[in-house]
Amino acid sequence: MHGEVTISGSKNAALPIMAATLLTGEPCVIHRVPNLSDTRFMARILESLGTQVKFERGTLTVRAQKIRGYGDYDLVRKMRGSICIMGPLLGRLRKARVSLPGGCIIGARPINLHLKGFAALGATIKIEGGYVDATARKLNGATMFLGGRAGSTVLGTANVMMAAALADGVTVIESAACEPEVVDLANFLCAMGAQISGAGSPTITVTGVAKLHGAEHEVIPDRIEAATYTIAAAATNGEITLKGARADHLRAVIDKLSEAGVSVEKRGANLVVRRKGKLKSADVTTLPYSGFPTDVQAQMTALFTLTPGISIITERIFESRFMHVSELARLGADIEIEGPSAIVKGGRLLSGAPVMASDLRASAALVIAGLAAKGTTQVNRIYHLDRGYERMDVKMRKLGARIQRIQEK
Ligand code: EPU
C-alpha cells in the first residue's frame, strides 16, 4: 500500500461528545464527526429523546431544548455505546431511564461502575423490566473510586463526568480512565462551561456548575483507525502517510511496531509508516491507556501471523476478544489460545478464503490478513466494519489495496 490517507474523527470520542449535547438547551456544533453507522445511530437516539439534529459533511448540530429522560428501549439496546446518554440525562433532568445493555461478542461488559458513580452522586438506581433507572432529587459532588476488574472504565468515567458537571459541589473520580477520548470529552464540556481538571490523569476533579451553554468543538482524530492503517501498511510492506494522525495518542502502538520492525515517523502534522526491514516477532499485552489498546489487538494479531517466530498477545481488558483467531486460521494462520493469550506461530504465507467478521476490530484484522494473503479473501458481515471505519474500502483502494465492497446477499 502506498500513498496518503486522511484519518477521520474518533468514533469513541464522538459518541460521548454527542451525548454531552444533552446537557444544554442551547445549540452545539461538533466538527469532524465520522460518518459511521454508530454515529448515525447515536444521532437517531438523540432525536428520539426530543433533540433536533443536523448531520452534514462531518458537522453535527444538536439542539436539545426540550428532552425526555428515557431512551427508546430498542434503539439504546442495539448499541452499547449509547449507555453514555445516561450521565447527561441524569445531570440535566435528575432522571434517566435506558435499556440495560447486554454483553457482546467481546465480553460481558457490565455497567456496575457507571452505576456506582451515579449512586455516589446521590442517585437511586433501580433495575426493572430490562431497564436501568437512575433518579435523584439532588446530585451532590462526591469522591469515588471507579477502578474495576480490568482497571479504569472509559464510558463509565465519561458518564460520571457528565452527570457531575451539573451536580452541586466537587466530584473527584479516582482511577479515572486516561484515554484521549476522555480528555476530548472534558475539553468539550469545559467549552460548554463545565469546570473539570485532571482529565488524562487517573484523578479527575469536576466542580459542578448550575448551567451549561452551547459550544463548538472539533473531535480528535481516530487513533484506532490510524493504528489500523499503520498495521495494514506494515502487513503489505507498503509506505503510507497518515494525514492528521496524532503520534502522542499512539505511543504504545508505535513503540510495539518499532520492536516488530515497523517505523512510524512524525512528519509535520502527519505520520509516515514504512517497514525497517524484515518483520520481527514481539509480545503484546493490552492495557488501559497509555498501554497498548485492546481495540488494536486483533489487527496486531493479524500482523503477527505474517511475522516469522512466536508472538504472544495477551488480552487484559475483555475476556473473549479472540473471535478473529478461528477466522484467521481459515487463511492458514497458526494461532493457539492459552487463557487470556494468543500464541501466534507466524511467518506462513496466508492464503485467501471466505471469512466471517464477528465484531468491529476483528473485521479490520480480517481485511489486513486478506490484503497480505495470496488469492482472494471474502469478508462477510461487514456491517461490523461500517460501525467504526469511515469508507474503509474507498480509503484502502486509494492506497492501492485491491478491495471491493460487494452487496450483502
Ligand atoms: N467494566 C466493568 N464495569 C463497568 C464498566 C466496565 O467491569 O461498569 C470492565 C469491562 O468489562 C472491561 C473494562 O472494564 O473489562 C473496560 O471497559 P470500558 O468500560 O473501558 O469499555 P467501554 O467504555 O464500554 C470503550 C470503547 C471500546 C473500547 C473500550 C476499552 C466506546 C464507545 N467504546 O468501551 O471500543 O474497547 O472502551 O478501551 O468508547 C471499539 O471501538 O471497538 C470498542 C469496543
What would the DSSP string read from start to end of 99-139? EPP--BTTB----HHHHHHHHHTT-EEEEETTEEEEE-S--
Q: Is the CB of 149 under 6 A from ligand 1?
A: yes
Nine-digit cell string for 238: 507498503
**Given the CA of residue 108, which atom of ligand 1 is nearest to it?**
11
Look at the alpha carbons of 128, 130, 136, 140 in this order and tell me if their dihedral is positive or negative: positive
pLDDT band with cut points at 50, 70 and 90 for residue 407? confident
Q: Give residue-wise pLDDT tens across range 348-405.
A: 899 999 999 999 999 999 999 999 999 999 999 999 999 999 999 999 999 999 999 9
Residue 409: pLDDT above 50?
no
Residue 81 CB–ligand 1 contact under 6 Å: yes
Pair 83, 42: CB distance under 8 Å: no
In which region does residue 375 sit, left (phi positive, over 0), alpha (psi from -120 to 50) or beta (all else)?
left
| Cβ 296 under 6 angstroms from ligand 1 | no
> Nearest-CA neighbor of 379 among 360, 366, 394, 398?
366
CA distance 344 to 334: 6
- Ligand 1 near 266 CB (within 6 A): no
CA nearest ligand 1 atom 39, residue: 12
Res. 205: pLDDT tops 80: yes
Q: What is the DSSP letter of 331?
A: T
Q: Grid coordinates in use for 208? A: 459542578
Cell matching residue 128: 426493572
**How remote is the CA of residue 253 from the centroid of ligand 1, in Å?**
19
- Which three cell numbers mark 206? 469536576
- Render pLDDT for 206-254 as a digit per residue (tens, 0 to 9): 999 999 999 999 999 999 999 999 999 999 999 999 999 999 999 999 9
- Residue 281: asked if its preceding bond is cis (omega within 30°), the reply is no
pTM score of the predicted model: 0.98
Q: What is the rounded CA–CA span in Å between residue 176 and residue 113?
A: 11
DSSP letters, 67-80, are: --SB--HHHHHH-G
User: Quick one: which H or E segment has residue 242?
Assistant: strand 239-243
Write out pLDDT tens, residues 70-111: 877 788 888 888 999 999 999 999 999 999 876 678 877 899
Rounded Cα distance, 77 and 99, in Å: 6
* Residue of 18, 155, 183 to mutate, ligand 1, most atoms within 8 A of C-beta: 155
- pLDDT at position 70 is 86
SS (H, E, C) 17-51: HHHHHHHCCCCEEEECCCCCHHHHHHHHHHHHCCC
Nearest CA to ligand 1 atom 10: 109
Q: Is the pLDDT of residue 162 over 50?
A: yes
Q: How close is the Cα of 295 to the center of ligand 1, in Å?
A: 10
Gap between the Cα atoms of 400 and 125, Å rounded: 52
* Joined grid coordinates for residue 276: 525497517
Dist CA 257 CA 303 (whole Å): 10
CA atoms of 223 and 342, how far apart (whole Å)? 23
Residue 104 catalytic?
A: yes
Instruction: Give the separation between CA 342 and CA 117, rounded to whole angstroms.
Output: 34
pLDDT at 164 over 90: yes
Question: Relative to the CA of 388, which ligand 1 atom is closest?
Answer: 41
The string of pLDDT tens digits covering residues 385-396 is: 999 999 999 999
- Separation CA 169–CA 406 (nearest Å): 55
